[in-house]
Amino acid sequence: MSSAEELQWFNNEVRPFEPALRAYLHKRFPLLSDQDDLVQESYTRLLCAKREGRLTSAKAFLFTVARNLAIDIFRRRRWIGYHEALSDIAEMPALEEAADTVAFLEHQYRFEALIDAVASLPERCRTVMMLRYLDGLAYKEIAERLGISPNTVKVHMVKGVKDCTAFFRKRGLLETAVALGPAVPAENLIK
């Protein structure tokens, strides 16, 4: 295949997947900072596979290579982290539960989003949510502690859940659960 034919093939068969590939990488690896390099390296490997006659599906190959390269980046970052001073390691979040770096980073990203969501709530609503979920207090106990009625506590809980749900959905962290059955009112989720 001549270089002109290869360029035409690339522009017709590969380049149209770039926006979808970038969207996939952004959603699957939100903490990935060097996306351009990863896409270029994926293109290089795809062209090599094409020249060697190993390519059966450009799209499948491209997405698989990009995913594997992203995972490798996170593995390298994890390996570099092992070489830090002991005092730095003592301050790191617990890694023992993470099956792999990608899962840990995804969990960390979602945890930070949860903190941001709760922080964005109005003060009274945030206080009610924290007393319920962090301190494990019942509605009646929250009402007594804050000097409000249990119904007001319920109103704040419903608002908090709805606002946090909207916060997550806006950031693409919450997929619609249509396949799981009928929608469950927020009031039933917080009891």
Residue 182 clears pLDDT 70, i.e. is over it: no
pLDDT at residue number 108:
74
Domain ranges for the chain, please list them: 3-82, 101-189
- Flag whether the pTM goes above 0.75: no
**Model confidence over 26-85: pLDDT tens digits?**
887 777 777 888 899 999 999 988 888 888 888 888 888 888 888 777 767 654 444 444
Residue 164 CB neighbour total at 10 angstroms = 21
* Two tokens, residue 182: 């009928």
Which residue type does 124 have? R
HEC profile of 107-149: HHHHHHHHHHHHHCCCHHHHHHHHHHHCCCCCHHHHHHHHCCC
How many Å apart are CA 182 and CA 59, to the nearest integer?
A: 35
- Cα–Cα–Cα angle for 17, 23, 25, nearest 5°? 100
Least Cα distance to 10 among 43, 35, 49 occurs for 43
How many Å apart are CA 8 and CA 149, to the nearest integer?
A: 70
Which residue type does 140 have? K
Contacts of 42 by beta carbon, 8 Å cutoff, 6+ apart: 21, 62, 65, 66, 69
Residue 99 CB neighbour total at 10 angstroms = 7
Task: Tell me how far the alpha carbon of residue 131 is from its chain's centroid.
Answer: 26
Confidence of residue 157 (pLDDT cuts 50, 70, 90): very high
How many Å apart are CA 128 and CA 120, to the nearest integer?
A: 13
Domain 101-189: state its class. Answer: mainly alpha
